[in-house]
Amino acid sequence: MKIYLALLGCVSLFFTAILKAEIVSSEKTSGVELSADWRTPKAESVLLMQLDSGRVVIELAPKFAPNHVANIKQLVSDGYFDGSKILRSQDNYVVQWGDPDEGTEQARSIGKANSKLKVEFFADHSELNFAAIESRDAYAAEVGFVDGFPAASDGKRAWLAHCYGMVGVSRGMGDDSGNGSGLYVVSGHAPRHLDRNVTLVGRVIKGMPLLSSLPRGTGDLGFFESAEETIPIKSIKLATSLGDKSVSLQIMDTNGAAFKEHVAKRTTRSEEWFLEPTGKIELCNVGVPTR
């Protein structure tokens, strides 16, 4: 619902009530919200990050980064992130978290997890149910969605795209310098130049504002400069460890009819408010509705 309301944007406060009523009514008559159009994320692929301010829900993408996802789940099972910190908040870019002592003698143990993993970018296009959208993309020949995740492709290989809310694995130099003990989420305009350069492992499906509205770090790259500045993470748990009811939200099936209609609406912008509807759409402007 929030996604639909966002279509309206930029109306003056004075007109909000009128426009809102209009959109809600057009949504009701569309009649596309069949239960078959929605899916509940599998609990085994869902992480719950608990902050003092609330809960952030992350859906993992094992099809694209199986080794990283397995490693992150191992770390999470071992409580690696419980009591860890948000370390960085860079305006219009990313929010990053992990162990503030990583690389020092005080570093947390990563237990049975792998300390190095080779980057994982690609899945075989022919093995995916790639829901392509019509869009002239700056970075890739084809773009669309795979299982709710924004993705790009050259026709043979497919890879996840750095849209707002996508979660990736921090790394240093080299293609095996990350392991999932440090993670980040895109909190600004999509930095698509990072596609195929950093391993993406999932997407925040609820609670993004808790991360995106954090104060920006005062250090270079938005790193928090002092222990006081960092934000505590109470815990990151697997949804499976908290019972089935821990994932109560649903995500629109990006291979369903309702999503096709959603993309069409976001492309045509036929609402009366628009003076010159664009008729175009860009991958990271599509958004995947949740309820």
C-alpha radius of gyration, the chain, whole number: 20
Q: Does 84 participate in binding a copy of itself (rule CB under 8 A)?
A: no
Measure the CA angle with vertex 234, ends 230 and 235; round to 5°.
120
State the nearest-atom distance from the C-beta of 35 to a copy of itself, in Å.
Answer: 25
Q: Which of 34, 36, 221, 242 binds a copy of itself (CB under 8 A)?
A: 221
Name every residue whose Cβ is closer than 8 Å to that of residue 67 and which is 6 or more positions away in sequence: 114, 117, 118, 120
Q: What binding mask, one character per residue, do residues 148-167 give for a copy of itself by CB under 8 A, x or -?
A: ---------------xxx--
DSSP state of 215: P
Q: Closer to a copy of itself at the Cβ: 58 or 94? A: 94
State how far the Cα of 280 lies from the Cα of 268, in Å rounded to an integer: 7
Q: Does 15 participate in binding a copy of itself (rule CB under 8 A)?
A: yes
Q: Which of 76, 151, 208, 233 binds a copy of itself (CB under 8 A)?
A: 208
Q: Closer to a copy of itself at the Cβ: 42 or 118? A: 118
Q: Which of these ranges, 17-25, 70-78, 238-246, 253-261, lies near a copy of itself under the rule CB under 8 A?
A: 17-25
Nearest C-alpha neighbor of 119 from the set 168, 154, 60, 51: 168
φ and ψ of 270, to 5 deg: -85, 0
Q: Does 137 participate in binding a copy of itself (rule CB under 8 A)?
A: yes
Q: Closer to a copy of itself at the Cβ: 193 or 291? A: 193
Q: Count of alpha carbons within 13 Å of 75, Cβ hemisphere only?
A: 27
Q: Which of these ranges, 3-11, 34-42, 68-76, 251-259, lies near a copy of itself under the rule CB under 8 A?
A: 3-11
Residues 162-191 interacting with a copy of itself (rule: CB under 8 A): 163-165, 168, 170-173, 175, 177-178, 182, 184, 188-191
State the nearest-atom distance from the C-beta of 182 to a copy of itself, in Å.
Answer: 5
φ and ψ of 119, to 5 deg: -55, 145
Name every residue whose Cβ is closer than 8 Å to that of residue 78 and which is 6 or more positions away in sequence: 110, 111, 112, 113
Q: Which of 77, 114, 285, 290 binds a copy of itself (CB under 8 A)?
A: 285
Query: b/e for 235-266, b at 16 or more Cβ within 10 A?
Result: ebbbbbeeeeebbeebbbbbbbebbebbbebb
Residues 19-48 interacting with a copy of itself (rule: CB under 8 A): 19-20
Q: Closer to a copy of itself at the Cβ: 19 or 123? A: 19
Residues 257-276 interacting with a copy of itself (rule: CB under 8 A): 266, 269, 272-276
Q: Rounded to an integer, what is the distance from CA 278 to the centroid of its chain?
A: 25
State how far the Cα of 47 lies from the Cα of 34, in Å rounded to an integer: 27
Q: Does 123 participate in binding a copy of itself (rule CB under 8 A)?
A: no
Q: Which of 29, 35, 52, 103 binds a copy of itself (CB under 8 A)?
A: 103
Q: Closer to a copy of itself at the Cβ: 135 or 238? A: 135
Q: Count of alpha carbons within 13 Å of 102, Cβ hemisphere only?
A: 22
Q: Closer to a copy of itself at the Cβ: 129 or 226? A: 226
State the nearest-atom distance from the C-beta of 232 to a copy of itself, in Å.
Answer: 16
Q: Sort strands 54-60 and 200-206 into parallel, antiparallel or unpaired.
A: antiparallel
